[in-house]
Amino acid sequence: KQRIGLTGTFITNSAIDIYGQLVAVGFGNNAPQKDINRGFYRWRATHFRDVLAGAGLKFQKWQNVTPLKDIIAPYKKNIFTLDSSDWLEVPEVSYIPHVVELSEPEMNEY
């Protein structure tokens, strides 16, 4: 069995980030691109509201109206997290200075 996974924080800015991550790992990829895009707007309209709507601003701020556990429920079996015991043993960082001599014209260009 194989898994495709993304590293990093699942919800970086807000729960609205989930949709792009789901598409990135294959959910909905058998649909045409326009349907994937339409699906996002439908999904966003179902689970979120723009708290700045009507404020006259050119940007939006989305807040979920559906509880997070309900938003991720259809995908929960596909979400896994790693425990610290799952981390690889990463060696200490080593710094190797490498001096590069530049001529005056090269330095000016740099």
How does pLDDT run across 20-50, given as a tens digit for each residue?
888 877 777 777 777 777 888 888 999 999 9
Range of the domain at 77: 8-81
In total, how many domains does the chain have? 1
Domain for residue 24, yes or no? yes
Domain for residue 99, yes or no? no
CB-count exposure of residue 25 (10 Å: 0-12, 13-18, 19+): middle
Domain for residue 105, yes or no? no
What percent of the chain lies above the pLDDT cut of 70? 85
What's this model's pTM, rounded to 2 decimal places? 0.60
Q: Which of 96, 90, 43, 95 is nearest to 71 (CA)?
A: 43
Contact in structure between 63 and 51 (CB atoms under 8 Å): yes
A 10 A CB-CB count for 61 gives: 14
Mean pLDDT over all residues of the chain?
83
- Largest Cα–Cα distance in the chain? 62
DSSP state of 92: P
Domain for residue 51, yes or no? yes
